[in-house]
Structure 1
Amino acid sequence: MPLLHNARVVTPTEVLDRAWLRVEDGLITELGTDAPPSTADDVDLGGHTVLPGFVDIHTHGGGGATFTTGDADQARTAAAFHRRHGTTTLLASLVTAPAELMAAATTAYRPLVADGTIAGLHYEGPYLSQARCGAQNPAYLRDPDLDEISGLLDLGGVRMMTIAPERDGALDTIRLLVARGVVAAVGHTDASYEQVGAAIEAGATVGTHVFNGMRPIHHREPGPILALLDAPGVTCEFIADGHHLHDGTLAFAAHAVGAGRAALVTDAMAAAGMSDGEYDLGGQAVTVTDGVARLSVGGSIAGSTLTMDAALRRAVGAGLSIVDAARMAATTPAAALGFPDRGELTVGKRADLVVLDEFLAVRRVMRDGAFQ
């Protein structure tokens, strides 16, 4: 029963100074700011800041390993890399690929879902816009096939799927996903404002890396960005690396939707945490220069080298409060995935937390009540 004390604890509404938490059986069982009871296994956190463990709902890899090939050993390596950066819950994001590869990866990752290494899979594709495909392989983009989707979902472990609502059959696909308990996300889309509105009405509840891979805003045709930002039931992902979004855009969007609808994501690829050089993303060559990943042919930005702790620091640097940034990094994405047991430091929640120093750098990570 460790008791963590001498900490600044960030809750969904405030920062508690000189606070303490008791952890028992993987849960937060007590939280206080008065004098903590003395126990044999006290852990003095030295006045550092404690946030809920980060929840990354969009990542393709990291630490030199990728989720996109279906290799379970690489997936474990990538998950461990992100855990060291404070991410205690993540989805393994696949990219546009043939159905056979998607099925093989889904099957290979079932044991990782079962043991909690990953919280599920995110299919980013293949039912995306040709015009806004970004780093998605255009050779495998296609219209939705309900039989194909049903077969993939039958394999288990799929938690979210990104789809372009203008593709033929997209709305029926969104309804099917929702009926099967899978989060439907809108992204990589050239859809109109009205088409995105129809997708939301059909049950879509997430905007995939909003602003990126989307038709830009025009005052006479607002397109998908404003449709997503203005929809009360939609969680909007933002890649806070300073390359995908200007800090001013990040701050504006977060203020516009509120921390309860804004989710920080990494969209990280294998190069996260690695040196510049040549990498692969879904079978396409990627060149990383000065930490920015781009397709070697065409130059389209290709995921990121971001980690969630760096995203949090970027959000705070853009002017967001630590309380709002913590909600965006943990509470809001956990809610978007339907995980009511985690994402905030309150009694009864899972003891997933990250300890940050005065520079918001990771000092310690706890997952399920155990330091990693």
Structure 2
Amino acid sequence: MKRLDGHILTPHGFVAGSIEFDEGRVRRIEGSPIAIEAVRGSSQPKVLPGFIDLHVHGGGGRDIMEGGDAAARVAELHAGHGTTSLLATTMTAPMGDLETAFAGLKTACASRGARASRILGVHLEGPYINAGKLGAQPNYARPFNAGELKRLNDMAPIRLITVAPEVPGNMEAVGTLVAAGYRVQIGHTLGTYEDGVEALARGAGGFTHLFNAMTALHHREPGMVGAALAHATYSEIIPDLLHAHPGAIRVALRSIPCLYCVTDSTAAAGMPDGQYRLGRHRVTKCLGGVRLADGTLAGSTLTMDQALRNLVDELGLDLPDASRRVSTHAADYLGINDRGRLATGAWADAVVLDRDLKLTDVYVEGVSIDLPHAR
């Protein structure tokens, strides 16, 4: 039995008390309610649900598309920044490249390293996207192919699929995929506002990195951004303050109830400036960003602990709201009710933070990953 004392964030707010873990689960939370204002300025440890990232391409110098042990190493890097579970995210690529990645993901999804995040499955970001809105995706976009998808899912579990609904055949595929149990979201799209509304009506659940690689909002042509702001309950956003201006993030926060954060992190996350792999691309990390040779943003170097601090320190969210956006909403979006919250019976995934919201410990399924800087 492991016990942590401090200010514990429960689904009903903070309590000053203790939380106990046993056999990977939360067994007990005890304490007295405490006001949010008293929590932030206190020197007491802050215990929050572990972070959940549904869009991870890489980290620590490794790229998911490499296959082999790359995903396991990526999961270790992100665990060190408080991410206790994630979706390994693939790039638009030829089928052979995807099979290489999925062969490695089969093992990584089935078992977890001692100092790693739990990989919940795969986010297939493409290839069913619009070739005219690739962003940093390699140019291997193609219409939905059911046989291809089945072959990949037989190798490793696909939980989330990004599609451009305006591509011929893709709109019809949305309902089929949702009925089969996949989460479908809209991204890398030149679709109209009307395309977005129809895709949502057919069961699409959200949007991939809101504002990025989609048709923008104009007052006479609301575009896919307009469809998201007017109709979405869930959407990803990258809060590195490079992919979206803080003002745009504030608009999304007021419009989309369960807006949640992703890193869209690349192999460059946690690494010095230099060149790294992103699928078939070579990308450069410099000045805090990752870009293609032409200057296009190509994923990020963001980690979820920094995302939390950005939400609180730069955007002014209170800590419970920020926590939901780096944890609970993502779990709810995937239909997972035993992660993303500290409650009796839930997985004991937790982060421990100091007064400055810096990590002092991370627990994945009840076990500390032993942060090197905290030794």
Instruction: Give the TM-score normalised by the residue count of structure 1.
Output: 0.92
Matched residue, 1:174: 174
Contact 2:63 2:279 in 1 (8 A): no
Deviation at 1:152, TM superposition (A): 2.3
Specify the alignment match of 2:92 in structure 1: 96
Deviation at 1:150, TM superposition (A): 2.8
Aligned to 1:110: 106
The CA distance in 1 between the partners of 2:246 and 2:353, in whole Å, is 22
Give the C-alpha shift of residue 121 in structure 1.
0.7
Q: Distance in 2 between matches of 1:242 and 1:195?
A: 28
Structure 1 position 283, deviation (Å): 1.1
Q: Distance in 1 between matches of 2:346 and 2:227?
A: 33
1:343 matched residue in structure 2: 340
> Is the contact made by 1:12 and 1:331 (CA closer than 8 Å) also made in structure 2?
no
CA distance in 1, matches of 2:290, 2:32: 48
Check whether the contact 2:125–2:162 (CA below 8 A) recurs between aligned residues.
Answer: yes
What is the count of residue pairs matched by the alignment?
355
Give matches, 1:216-255, under 5 Å.
Answer: 216-232=216-232, 234-255=233-254
> What's the C-alpha RMSD, in Å, of the aligned pairs?
1.7
Deviation at 1:46, TM superposition (A): 6.7
* 1:213 aligned residue: 213
What residue number does 2:327 align with?
Answer: 330
What's the offset of the Cα at 1:154? 3.1
Question: What secondary structure, in the 3-state scheme, does the structure 1 residue paired with 2:108 have?
Answer: helix
Q: Relative to structure 2, which stretch is displaced further, 62-71 or 50-59?
A: 62-71
- The amino acid of 2:7's aligned partner reads R
1:99 maps to a residue whose letter is: M
Q: Is the 8 A contact 2:59 2:77 kept in 1?
A: yes
C-alpha contact 1:13 1:323 (8 A) present in aligned 2: no
How far apart are 1:229 and its partner, in Å? 2.6
Q: Aligned equivalents of 1:256 and 1:14: distance in 2? A: 23
> In 2, are the aligned partners of 1:64 and 1:271 still within 8 Å (CA)?
yes
Instruction: State the distance in 1 between where 2:22 and 2:110 align.
Output: 22
Q: Structure 1 counterpart of 2:46, which letter? A: T
Residues 251, 315 of structure 1: 8 Å contact kept: no
- In 1, Cα distance between equivalents of 2:215 and 2:364: 39
**In 2: Cα distance, 1:110 partner to 1:126 partner:** 19
Asked whether the 8 Å contact 1:59–1:267 carries over to 2, the reply is yes
CA displacement 1:187-207 (0-9 Å, x = unmatched): 011100111111111111121
- TM-score, structure 2 as length reference: 0.91
User: Which amino acid counterpart does residue 205 of structure 1 have in structure 2?
Assistant: G
The residue type equivalent to 2:367 in the other structure is: A
Asked if 1:300 is matched to 2:296, the reply is yes
Counterpart of 1:369?
Answer: 366
Corresponding position of 1:41: none
| Structure 1 residue 93, shift from structure 2 partner | 0.3
Distance 2:74 2:204 in 1: 28
- Offset of 1:172 from its aligned partner? 2.5
Task: Note if contact 1:126-1:141 (Cα within 8 Å) is conserved in structure 2.
Answer: yes
Provide Cα deviations, 1:274-322, integer angstroms capped at 9, x if missing partner: 11111121111211111210101x2110000000000011111211111
Query: Which residue of structure 1 aligns with residue 20 of structure 2?
Result: 22
Q: In the alignment, residue 103 of structure 2 is paired with which amino acid?
A: T
SS in 1 for 2:270: coil
After TM superposition, the structure 1 = structure 2 runs for residues 40-79 of structure 1, keeping only pairs within 5 Å, are 47-71=44-68, 73-79=69-75
1:121 counterpart residue number: 122
Does 1:359 pair with 2:356? Answer: yes
Could you tell me the percent identity over the aligned residues?
Answer: 40
Q: Indicate if the aligned counterparts of 1:52 and 1:353 stay in contact, CA closer than 8 A.
A: yes
1:277 — aligned with what?
Answer: 274
Between the aligned partners of 2:97 and 2:124, the Cα distance in structure 1 is 12
CA distance in 2, matches of 1:14, 1:155: 40
1:133 maps to which residue? 134
Quick one: which of 29, 32, 38 aligns to 1:31? 29
In 2: Cα distance, 1:156 partner to 1:64 partner: 23
Q: Kindly indicate whether residue 153 of structure 2 is the aligned counterpart of residue 161 of structure 1.
A: no
